[in-house]
Every structure is written in structure tokens, then in C-alpha cells.
Amino acid sequence: MNDYSDMITRVSDHWKRVFGKKVYKLNFHGDFTCPNLDGTIGSEGCVYCNMKALEPLKDIETDSGIEDHMNYLKERNGAEAFIAYFQDYSSTYPAHGVKNRLKYLKELYRNAVSHPGIVGISVSTRPDAITKAELDILKSLDTDVTIELGLQTINEEDLEWIGRGHTVKQFSSAVELVSSYRFETVAHIILGLPNETDAGIFELAQFLNSSKIRGLKIHQLMILKNSRLEKLYKEGKATEILSEIEYFRRLGILVSHLKKDIVIHRLYADAPKKDLIEPLWCANKTGLQDRIFKYFKENKIKQGYRIYSFSSGKQP
Ligand code: SF4
């Protein structure tokens, strides 16, 4: 097995240090929606979002289903412990049919962390969908807590293009709030947005380096079926989608300017083949990670190795 631990700060190593075990995430579902879909902030959603078209996730897991999944990860990957992961929609934002939303969240989260083998909880949400009320509930669980927050970009024009419905300032305020609870924050960002430049990626790295985030998930822009971006794509109005090598190049700029104590949770996104329109190079995950690290090796890219410098137009 390839070992890339000298190139980036890997989440698997981070969890091993924190928990002393080989830890995997386990997906849990709830009855959630998103303020950018339900009309509170917007009703169209982010340009790449296809969640509105998905079937409602009604099948809250059964205990035996969770056990089966745990056993599968133990046998296949040698998992020794698990983090309960909530990532549907904005996972701090229950759907409108939920009567007492805080009570619902409390029971849902508490039930998830009560399973033997669960050592923490990770909740993915928007910066404008998390307040002290949800954080107090998570604190009361008395377990390791991580909050994943969508930032996507610090370019306000691109935030507008996405239709995110929040600002960079709101992201920074949410990170401050989460940090005041001593929870870890993981930022989500996207490479390949229309107004992105090499200098802009460098600025993004500097922004992340100076924030209180502890982790980062990096995704390429994808065109998914049933998203607004699919419609733009069909009308010939979508932004250019990055080739694999161009994505690697931009990823290299970001990673090489990112300080080493930011844990990298993801270097690329994947989507079920049935939902993916572009880019097709990410349709087959097998080998993609190896190709990224091959590119890093050939171009002498390591996390943080160019943290104080930036030269536009040159290879990172
Ligand atoms: S914040 Fe997430 S769930 Fe909400 S519209 Fe954007 S991508 Fe969809």
C-alpha cells in the first residue's frame, strides 16, 4: 500500500493520534433540509446541488444496519472505531415537518453516539445554519465533535455565481463560534469555479491558514444531474470544467501553500456514476488518489512547502 504521509497531513493519521485507533466515518441520516432550499435564504439551492431532486432520506438507520456496516468496515479495512457522520443537506437544520427541532436533534445525535464503537460525531452544515443552540446539544453529548462548514470559496463573485446565500464573513463568524466550544472545524472548498485564478488559490490558502479551521475537504466542481448547473451546461452556459491535470495543478498550488497543521480530509470529490455529468475523470475513483500523489511527487509538491511564497504562472 502506498504511503503518502510525507506529502500531506492525512486525516487517518490525525485520527490515529487523537483516538489511538484506526477510525472510519459511518454515515447517519436524519430528516433535514437546507435554508438555501426551503425558501429561508433561497429556494433554488447552490448551482451544483442536486439534493432537491433526491428522494427524501426517510430510512433512519436501524441498529442492525449500523452493526452490519461497522462489521463490514472492520473486516474490510481493519476499522477499530467510528465517527458518526451526518452530512445530508444542512445536518443541523431539521425539515419543517419536525415539530420540536432541538429535541429532535438531541435525540438523533444522542442515539448515534450511543452505539458501541462510536468515538465522536461529525456534523456537516452551512455557516448560517449553526447557532449556540445546536452547539450546546453537541457539547452535552460529551464526545469528540467536529463541525464541517461549507465555505467553497473566498471569491465573493463565485459565491454569488454558486448562489450560496452566505458571505465569507458569515463563515468566519461560524468558525469563531465553533472554536469557542473547542470543537474542530473542517472547511469545504471547491476548485474550478469560474473566477478562480492561481493568485486567488494562494489567497484562499492564506485565508485558511489564518483561520481557526483544523481540517479541510477539497472538491473539484462537478456537474451533477438535476442540478441548476446541469441546465446551464445543456444551454452551453456552464463554466469550463477542469481537466484532470489542471485540477491536479490547482490542487498542488493550494496544498503547497497550506500550513501543515491543517488536516486534509479529502483531495477530491466523488459522485455516483448515475448522477455525474462532468468531469468524467472522477467517475472512476480507482487510481485517482494514486495519480494525484504521482503528480505531487513529480512536481515536488508537499503540504506547506511553499507557504510563504507565490509566483503567478509557475508550477507550484
Ligand atoms: S448548502 Fe448544501 S444542501 Fe444547501 S443548497 Fe447548497 S449544496 Fe444544497
* Mean pLDDT per 10-residue interval, the chain, length 316 residues: 82 97 95 95 95 56 81 96 96 94 97 96 98 98 98 97 97 98 98 97 97 98 96 93 97 97 96 92 88 95 82 51
Q: Which amino acid is at 304?
A: G
Alpha helix (H) ranges present in the chain? 11-19, 63-77, 101-113, 132-140, 156-162, 168-180, 198-210, 228-234, 244-256, 288-298
Q: Quick check: is 283 in a domain? A: yes
Q: Is residue 310 part of a domain?
A: no
Nearest-CA residue for ligand 1 atom 6 is 46
Domain presence at residue 306? no
Q: For residue 199, which amino acid is it? A: A
**Residue 79 domain flag:** yes
Distance of CA 203 to the CA centre of its chain: 20
51 lines ligand 1 (CB under 6 A): yes
The pTM of this model reads 0.94
**Domain contains 5:** no
Any domain includes 27 = yes
86 domain-assigned: yes
> The C-alpha cell of 44 is what?
433554488
Ligand 1 near 73 CB (within 6 A):
no
45 Cβ below 6 A of ligand 1: yes
Report phi then psi at 68, rounded to 5: -60, -45
* pLDDT at residue number 306: 83
Q: Is 37 in the pocket of ligand 1 (CB under 6 A)?
A: yes
| Residue whose C-alpha cell reads 465569507 in the numeric block | 168
Q: How far apart are CA 143 and CA 160, in angstroms?
A: 36
What pLDDT, on the 0 to 100 scale, is given for residue 54? 59
Structural domain count, the chain: 1
CATH number at residue 69: 3.20.20.70
For residue 292, the model assigns a pLDDT of: 96
Residue ranges making up the domain that contains 221: 11-298
Residue closest by Cα to atom 5 of ligand 1: 45
**Atom number, ligand 1, closest to the C-alpha of residue 126:** 1
In whole angstroms, what is the distance from residue 244 CA to residue 50 CA? 23
314 Cα–ligand 1 center, Å: 34
Ligand 1 atom, smallest distance to 163 CA: 6
Flag whether 1 is in a domain. no
Query: What confidence score (pLDDT) does residue 316 get?
Result: 47
- pLDDT given at position 189: 98
What local confidence, expressed as pLDDT, does residue 51 receive? 83
